[in-house]
Structure 1
Amino acid sequence: MNQLTEYILQFGNLNPQQIELITSKATEIELRKDAYFSEAGYIPKQVGFVVEGVMRGCYYNNKGEEITRCFISENSLVVDYINFDLNASSSEYLQACTDCKLIVFSKQAWEELSQTIVGWDAIKNKMVQLCMYQKSRKGPVISQDATTRYLEFIENYPALTNRIPLTYIASYLGVTQQSLSRIRKNIR
């Protein structure tokens, strides 16, 4: 829980009792590689904080191809927040790329914090803004050639290249796995 506490305190000040209340509302879970944290067609039911591992946001395009939209690693929130907040069905999946350890809050626990802790909404809003920025940023620019997209991926996610399956990286870059293998071979 220390990682979560340190993360939250970046966004505002809380006293020890408030921190204790927050951690008492949280549960630690483990997700095995390839398990889903939330799924398309269902209402997201929880907010997660990644303690260990890598998650990804993905969806299926109109051709049925799986597209990886973002990667979420340690010390980050993981949630489809708009649909979580609206109680609406998601159109994307949040999936574990590796075995993951998460700290999660149910919708009820998350809302109770807003009702109980003065200033929680300001802290929560900053955390959610960062989460949404991280999910939307750094997408590859398809007009760039594949090698440039891969080099930018390495620059933006230096710690991930050897931690997650190449199929996910290829999907994120919009190339086949064979193309990605060729690009990686040419760069070495």
Structure 2
Amino acid sequence: MSTQPYQQLFHVLQAIAEIPELEINKLSSIFHPVTLTAGEHLIKAGEAPKTIGFVLSGLLRLYYLDNSGTEFTKSFCLSNEFIAAYSALLLNQPSRLFIEALEDTSLLVADYTDYQKITQEHHCWQLEHTPIKVFEIIAPLVDTPMTQGRGKGKIQPDDLVEEFWRNFSRDHYEMLIGKSKLLYLLQRFLPHLAEKIMRPGL
């Protein structure tokens, strides 16, 4: 990993944990450079996300549209940060978010499946000997302006926070919230039924 973009990724990762050079080289082999001009999208709502990105330079905005077409900005992403439509990736669903470059932006982008495979093969990626804890949360639709008019049986924000805190306080790093517990079992044992349920939304 000799070029500047990959060195930038290397320094960010090494600041989080001590990662062997061999593992860094494995990771760098799956990332490739992508450039977006201002106004271009990394992903649009309705598209199925397959990648995770690392921002080298520039500025990205994550936003969504309500039923009337009004835009709501969810967050921004700056250089040296990772970016993806995480919920859609984890649930293997179309994204509800748009990710737009607000200025010319350079990224390193990798297939998320390849990324998961590499980061699950070696203990250094688990952050076991660092003060950092990573929690993965899978939840049903939350009743917010972003999900207005979409799906049914939504979980209330207060209920989500309460269940998250219960799991967080017990160091449960993988959290299945509400109906997502049932969906997990269906995807494991009855995948065709799970897919049928997911199409109209939980």
- TM-score grouping bracket, smaller chain normalisation: 0.5 to 0.7
4+ residue stretches of structure 1 with deviation over 4 A? 126-129
Question: Which residue type is aligned with residue 10 of structure 1?
Answer: A
Q: Is the 1:83–1:90 contact (alpha carbons within 8 Å) kept by the matching residues of 2?
A: yes
TM-score (norm 2): 0.58
* 2:109 aligned partner: 104
SS in 2 for 1:95: strand
Unaligned runs of 5+ in 1: 130-188
TM-score (norm 1): 0.62
**Structure with bigger RCO (C-alpha 8 Å, 6+ apart):** 1
Alignment of 1:45-84 (within 5 A): 45-84=50-89
CA distance in 2: counterparts of 1:128 and 1:92, whole angstroms: 22
Pair 79,101 (structure 1): closer, same or farther in 2 beyond 3 Å: same
CA distance in 1: counterparts of 2:90 and 2:14, whole angstroms: 22
SS in 1 for 2:8: helix
Alignment of 1:2-17 (within 5 A): 2-17=7-22
Aligned length: 127
Q: 16, 21, 27: which one pairs with 1:22?
A: 27
1:20-72 Cα deviation digits (max 9, x unpaired): 11111111111111111111112211110110100000111222112222111
CA distance in 2: counterparts of 1:34 and 1:25, whole angstroms: 26
CA distance in 2: counterparts of 1:117 and 1:40, whole angstroms: 34
1:94-136 Cα deviation digits (max 9, x unpaired): 111111100111123212213433332448xx6976xxxxxxx
CA distance in 1: counterparts of 2:37 and 2:133, whole angstroms: 25
CA distance in 1: counterparts of 2:100 and 2:56, whole angstroms: 15
More helix by share: 1
